[in-house]
Each structure stands twice: as structure tokens, then as C-alpha cells.
Structure 1
Amino acid sequence: MAKQPNHQLSAMIERSRLSRGEVARRVHARSLEYGINYINPDATSVRRWCNGEQPRHPLPGIIADVFSAHLGHRVTGYDLGFGDSPDLDRPLLYGATFGETVEAVAELGRADMDRRAFLAAVPFAAAAGVGPSRDWLLNTLDQTPEPGPRVRIEDVTNVKNMFASFQDMDVMQGGGSGRLVLTAYMSEHVYPLLRRAFADDVRRALCAAAAEQTYLLGWMSFDNGEHGTAQRYLIQALRLAEESQDAALGAHVLAGMADQATLLGNPTEGRRLAQAGRQGLAAKAESPACMADLWALEARALAAGGDSKAATHAVAESERVFGTVRPETEPEWAKFIDGAYLHGEYANVFRDLDQPENSAEHARRSIDFARSQGRARRGAMSQAALAVSHLQLGELEAAHSAGVRALDLSRRVQSSRSVEAVQDVRRRMVPFGSHPLVADFNERTRVLLAA
């Protein structure tokens, strides 16, 4: 087979502004520092590497060290196209410095673009949110930008303008719809900006814009069932939000982390993350929409843990705070926190508390809002919650009707959460045995999963 050109190495050489001969000389010098005297490449050797020849161990690491020293930030053999695996535990850590954060999120983005199947298999780490949420509250900052063309506020505006489009894509079509496009956009256009120089006000604005879209990448991954990937994006989004000094944005990221923790069976951590978000938001910023969301997610966690009284109180607090929301004063990322979303979450709270009348009431309100907005994902999930409430009341025919509507809506979006909601309805139908409606729903679900 013909060798494939190593475009990553060629791009790194061009970015470094080093000639091939200079790269070769520096590789030789670095090898001598390691006590290796048999490595002595020349410009032709570098050309062969760019043309696809794979240098033997330990050359990939030495070449990476050369570029790391020259560029002032970590470069790996993976970055240079030599096939080394990225460090997928690194994005679970809350970087002590801005430079560490930039490299962690950039490496995650590259791995997400280049090795999606590999990355999708990384596990969710149950306790990984403890340190980041604590450190976010402690608010420790640092800065180590790379020299280069200065980032202008116009560059940041361009990034922020893209956010609304990607968020609408997620809300209307599901997380699996635009995630690859957003991943490529962030890796190729946004994360490189974080390595450049900027004035302080531009730096904060850029970090906020990057945090918003890194959060959205995490949320899209979450909605698409890629929980290990989602967790890594969310932790790095939290760190970028800290750099932006936007407490509301950080609290919003913690809400996403809380939602994921509860969904994956750890409601204790989900509650703690939601509480951390509320504390930071109350101390440093004001966003009633975000506060309403945090209360709703705390209610979800409490309900999953079986605490009916506290969960009901949290729902009431969420409704109270949401009544004070003025949409025109809320940030763009908070637009989805509305009646369709919150009543859907309340329906799930009362479903888990085995209060089907309350669950059905909120599910219907969510469905009405979602239908008026054309939001199929939220409609599907709330129809599923309505179906479960009917099952809890012993109303199989009504549950079947709502379940079929959930199925039909799920086909319109790319969202594993919608499919999981339908599967939950199917599991809860098992006690009704071999009833024809159960058989019909099972067959419809099988067709959906096959598709």
C-alpha cells in the first residue's frame, strides 16, 4: 500500500516556521541530550516523515519534544500524525493553569474528530466532578497564551454568532445531528484562538465563547449517549467558564454535569453538583433561568434518591424562580430553559416519586409547549413521561397511545435520550404481559431501534 502523506506533521512544521533542516538538527540535538547518539536525521529524513514514513521509537517522542519546546505548549506524537493515542484521562482533570486547560480541550477535540469510535468507548468516571466543582468555587486562575497574532473582539463575535445556530440544531434535531460539525469547527477554528495573544477583555470574552460551545459539545455527546466524551467536554467547559469570570456560565455547566450524574445512577453527586452551581450563581451572578434549571435538576436527583418532600420543595423553588425570568436579559445559552424543558423535568421528578397525576399534568404542559415550538426531542421525552404516568395508573391503552407518539417523534431527531425514554416505556409495560397493545409497542420499538 502506498504511504499516506502526514499532513499533521507538515502543518506543524509550517506553523513552527522551522525549515526541515532545522527540525532535523534539533531532533539530533535533543537525542544527544537523552544520551542517544545514533539518531542523526537530515532534511531528507524529515521530508520522508512528511510523506508518510513512520519514524521508529523513540523518534516520535523526541520529535514531539522538539516542537513542544519551540512552541511553548505540549505537543504529542498523536498531534504529529504518528498514531500515538491521546491521553483521554487528561480532560477529566481541572487544569491548574490556563495553558493546561487549552491543551487538554484541544487534545480532546482532536481525538473526537479523528478517533470517534475509540473515544466513544471511554468510560464515565463517577466521582470526576468532585474536584472541578470544588475548584470552580475556589476560583483559581492563571494565563499562559502562546505568542502570535492577537485575537480581536471581532474574532470572538464570530465565534459567539455560531453558537446560536449550533444550539438551535441541538434543540430541534438532537445532539447526534450537528455534533461532528461542531467538533470540527471548535478544533479547527476556536481552540487554536485560545493559544494566541489577547487583551484581558478579549481573553475573558473568548473563554466565555469557547466555554459555551465546549459545553454544547458535551451536551450533544450526552444526548447522543457518549457519556465518557460528554464528561470530558463538560469538565473543560467548566474550567474555561472560570477563565471567563462568568459565574452564571459556570453554574450552567454544573447543571449539565448534575443532569448526567443523576441519569447515570449517581443522584447524590447530581444533587451536590446542582447545589454547587446554585451557590456559585447566588454569590456571583444572576440568571433566574439557570437557577430554575439547577433547582429542577436538584429535584431530579432528590426524586431518584426517593426524597419526596425535598424533591417537591425543589420543584416549587424552580417554578418560583422561573416566574421571575425576563428572557431578554438572559444569555443565549439559557434560551432552552423554558416551559417545554422545565415542565418536562418536573414530569420526570413526579414519575420517579410515583405520583402519576402530577407527572401527567406537567408532561401535558411540556408537550403543549414543545408542539408549539416544533421541538420533537422534548416532545418525545415528555410523551414518554406521560405514557409512564398512565402505566402507573394502570391505563394501558392511554399509555400505548402516548408511547406511540413518543416513538413517532423520536424518529425525527438524532437523540439517544429520546430512544432511551421509549425503551423505558417498553420496560414498564412488561407487567402487562402478552396484551396485544404490549406486543404492538414492542414491535414498533424494535423497528425504531433497527433504524
Structure 2
Amino acid sequence: MGAAVRQPNQLLADALERSRMSKGELARRVHARAMASGHRHINPDATAVRRWVNGQELRHPLPGLIADVFSDHFGRRTTTYDLGLGKSPDLDRPLTYSSSWAVTVESVTELGRADMDRRKFLAASPFAAAAGIGPSRDWLLSTLDQEPRPGPRVRLEDVTSVQNMFEAFQDTDVMQGGGSGRLVLTQYMNEHVYPLLRRTYSDEVRRALCAAAAEQTYLLGWMAFDDGEHGTAQRYLIQALRLAEESQDAALGAHVLAGMADQATLTGNPSEGRRLAQAGRHGLARANSRACLADLWALEARALAVMGDKTATAQAVSASERAFARVDHSTEPVWAKFIDAAYLHGEHANAFRDLHQADDAAEHARQSIQHAQAQGRARRGAMSQAALAVTHLQRGDLDAAHSAGVKTLALARRVKSSRAIEAVQDVGRRMVPFGAHPLVADFNERTRVLQAA
């Protein structure tokens, strides 16, 4: 049989035509990019580019280098699959905490582009338990002095507009769940924020821009986390940490590590969750955010509880309470707004629940429910009602557990949050020992209706 007929790469040809680069110019830019990336053996010419356009299959890292060249030229992320050079973007790159500012920009913008396209391979990307080790270490140790690339100059006014959008998106997440505003935020980041990272700015603007981008990249990760897409969330959080380092805002970096700690514990890696929370606390030695400190202690308590350490859990909860007692939200950053009584009591309740200390868990759960109800926060209310239901089950009181479980269901209906649904499912699993009791059957049927909706 004859060799398969090679099909021309029309996507690459179209991109080359739009760029108005000659084949020789593209070859020179790819060579320069390869040299800067340490791939000194890559030195294409115009004839090589002609072969690419004619459909030659390219090997790593050439497709990524070509995509980076077009990204620089167009001022927006152009991926390998945009150019017909790959079926998917490089989703391992966002798991890497790169010392290179250029690579960081490419990583976070490619991730945002893939997420905006809602690619199935991104939603299905796995959580990598070991991926947080390097980023947390490097965030603590690194001091970087990368320079931005040339382009239209970014002003403080541009950054202020990004900062002003953050609170609105954060409120949407807190009040309606991560699945509610995530697609809109992803589009906003890809069209308005990530392109700014490619431009030039003063040192002052650079730090402010990186902080604003880090806040919203973290929020994208948190929304994906709440939406049950842990692989996507992890990639966003790692890149948010790198952007926070560039901003020189230690408190913001510690906040990102808190999110990474929470995710690690939730996905079955409590020892890693504890280590990430500790790294965040060490980082706060260079900053002052008692709200973030209270959060990190609470998340360390969650990890310790899963590990079964009752004494250390109680100590961590006490440290969290002491830090929170000294919080002045008027001096805290906007992202710390919802590190409050509703949230912290809810986390403390979950820690004591995991230790089967029902009395302590119920007390914290009730306080969380009270504060969440006053603020109209359905997601937090649902998760704390679920914790309260579990404490009733731990005492053997199915009637009270059913009542709290029904309230959990009602609140979970009001938000788009996988975590709220998982809280409902957890209550159902813990009712299994009560067998075919009518209250169990009723709760399971209500759960089925919610999941179908």
C-alpha cells in the first residue's frame, strides 16, 4: 500500500497569512524562541515552514514554540490546536511553577483559553497530588526579576478596572456557587486581563497587575474547585501562586496556598493539605492578614482531623479562633471578605465532625448556619446544615438528621455548586446504617430529584 496522502495544514496557513509574516520571518522567530527556551538544536528555515504548512507532522517542542510565536505576534493566546498542530493544548505546562515570566504568561493564558472553550479533556484532567510540592517551595524561596515584553503600555487605570471587577465575580461565587459565573469570568480573563500581561508597564503597575490577575486566576480555580473539576482548579491555583509571587504580595500568595491546601485535603491528601497550609503560614511572616492566618489554621485543622489527630486539631482550631478574634476587615484585602464567622465556624464544624466529636461539631455548625442565614449564603448554609445532620447521625438521632438534611437539600437547590451536592450525598451515605427506614427512603428520593434537576 502507498503512503498516506499528507493534508495541507490550512489553519497554520491562515494564521501565517493573517500575521503577514513571511515564511522566513516565522522561521527566524521560532529559532529565537527556541534559543530562549534552551532548544538550541531547533533552527528552521523558510523551506521547513513550507513543509509545516504542507502538513508535516511536528514533534515536541516545535508545535508549542510555533504557538508561542503567534501568541506574541497577535497579542492573545494562540494554541497548538488553533494552528492545526495538536488535538489539545499542553495541559501539563500549567502544573509547572516556572521561574520564567514568559512561560508563566503562556501557561495561564493557554489554560484560560482551553477552559473558555470548555474542552472535555480539560474538565477530565486529573488532580496530581504531588504537583503542589514544588510551587509552595518555590513561592517561599524565589525572588524573580523577569522583564515584561514590549507592547502598548498598561496604566494603573487599566489595573483598577480589573480590580473593580473582582469583587463582583467573588460575590457571584459566594452567593450563587462556582458553576454560576465561571464561564463569564473565564471569558473576561481571556479577553481583558491575560492580554495585559503581554504588554509593558512600570514596576508599580506590574506588581498591581500581577496581583489583580492572581486574584482572579485564583477565583477561577476556586470556581472550578467548587464545580468539581479538580484538575482544572489545580492548574489555575498553581499559576495564581506564580502570579502572586510576581506581585510581591505575600498575603495573596498565602491565600492561594490556602485554596491548594483545602483542595488537597478534600481530594484525599490531608498530609499534603497540612503542608501547604503550613507553607502559607510561613509566608505570612512577610505580611499581615489575620483573616488569611485564621483560614490557614482552620484548613490545617481540617487536614489534621482527617488524619485523626484530635489534640493537634483542637490546637489548630483554637489558633484559628485567636487569629480571627483580631481581624479588622476594614484593613483586609477584598479577597478576605468572606473569611468570616459563617465560613470559619463551618470549617471548624467539619473538622470536629471528621473526628466524630458531635457536640463540638454541632455547636460550630449552628453558629455557621446562623451567620450564613443572615447573609443569605446558601452554599455555606447547605454545607453547615449537612455537617449538623451528620452530628445527629453520629448521636443516632435519625429524625433530627433528616430535618437538617432536608434543609441542606433546600439550600443546595439555590446554588450551582458540586460541593453542596456532595454534602447532600455525604449525608445520604451516612444514613445507610439506618437501613430501609421511611426517613432514609424519603431523603434518598429528595436527593434523586435534586440530582436529576
Same fold (TM over 0.5): yes
User: Separation in 2 of the partners of 1:169 and 1:391?
Assistant: 33
Offset of residue 409 of structure 1: 0.5
Cα pair 1:96 1:142 within 8 Å, conserved:
no
Cα pair 1:65 1:75 within 8 Å, conserved:
no
* Cα distance change, pair 371–444 in 1 and its aligned pair in 2 (3 A): same
* Cα distance change, pair 402–194 in 1 and its aligned pair in 2 (3 A): same
* Cα distance change, pair 10–154 in 1 and its aligned pair in 2 (3 A): farther
Q: Which residue of 2 aligns with 1:220?
A: 223
User: Separation in 2 of the partners of 1:378 and 1:336?
Assistant: 11
Offset of residue 55 of structure 1: 5.3
**How much identity, in percent, do the aligned residues show?**
69
Matched to 2:336, the amino acid is: A
Matched to 2:333, the amino acid is: P
Q: Which residue of 1 aligns with 2:37?
A: none
Give the one of 280, 284, 289 matched to 2:283: 280
Give the one of 107, 111, 114 matched to 1:111: 114
Cα pair 1:97 1:142 within 8 Å, conserved:
no
* Cα distance change, pair 442–144 in 1 and its aligned pair in 2 (3 A): same
Equivalent residues in 2 for 1:115-154, closer than 5 Å = 115-154=118-157
Q: Does 1:56 align with 2:55?
A: yes
SS of structure 1 residue aligned to 2:130:
coil
User: Separation in 1 of the partners of 2:49 and 2:90?
Assistant: 27
TM-score (norm 1): 0.89
User: Separation in 2 of the partners of 1:196 and 1:253?
Assistant: 25
Q: Any idea what the Cα deviations from partners look like across 1:396-445, whole Å, max 9, x if unmatched?
A: 00000000000010000000000000100000000001110000001111
Q: Which residue of 1 aligns with 2:161?
A: 158
Q: Which residue of 2 aligns with 1:390?
A: 392
TM-score (norm 2): 0.89
Matched to 2:249, the amino acid is: D
Equivalent residues in 2 for 1:43-442, closer than 5 Å = 56-58=55-57, 65=65, 68-69=68-69, 71=72, 76-80=79-83, 83-281=86-284, 283-442=285-444
Cα pair 2:58 2:85 within 8 Å, conserved:
no
* Cα distance change, pair 8–260 in 1 and its aligned pair in 2 (3 A): farther
User: Separation in 1 of the partners of 2:130 and 2:105?
Assistant: 23
User: Separation in 1 of the partners of 2:62 and 2:127?
Assistant: 32
Q: Any idea what the Cα deviations from partners look like across 1:220-251, whole Å, max 9, x if unmatched?
A: 00000000000000000000000000000000
Cα pair 1:221 1:227 within 8 Å, conserved:
yes
User: Separation in 1 of the partners of 2:319 and 2:252?
Assistant: 20
What value does the CA root-mean-square deviation take over the aligned residues? 2.7
Matched to 1:85, the amino acid is: S
* Cα distance change, pair 25–393 in 1 and its aligned pair in 2 (3 A): same
* Cα distance change, pair 219–290 in 1 and its aligned pair in 2 (3 A): same
* Cα distance change, pair 69–88 in 1 and its aligned pair in 2 (3 A): closer
SS of structure 1 residue aligned to 2:152:
coil
Matched to 2:270, the amino acid is: P
User: Separation in 2 of the partners of 1:8 and 1:190?
Assistant: 26
Cα pair 2:127 2:230 within 8 Å, conserved:
yes
Offset of residue 339 of structure 1: 0.6
Cα pair 1:28 1:40 within 8 Å, conserved:
no
* Cα distance change, pair 13–230 in 1 and its aligned pair in 2 (3 A): farther
Spell out structure 1 runs of 4+ moving beyond 6 A. Answer: 6-13, 28-32, 59-64
Gap runs ≥5 in structure 1: 1-5, 46-53
User: Separation in 2 of the partners of 1:159 and 1:255?
Assistant: 23
Offset of residue 83 of structure 1: 5.0
Cα pair 1:341 1:366 within 8 Å, conserved:
yes
Offset of residue 10 of structure 1: 6.3
* Cα distance change, pair 438–379 in 1 and its aligned pair in 2 (3 A): same
Cα pair 1:12 1:80 within 8 Å, conserved:
no
Offset of residue 391 of structure 1: 0.3
Offset of residue 78 of structure 1: 2.6
* Cα distance change, pair 434–151 in 1 and its aligned pair in 2 (3 A): same
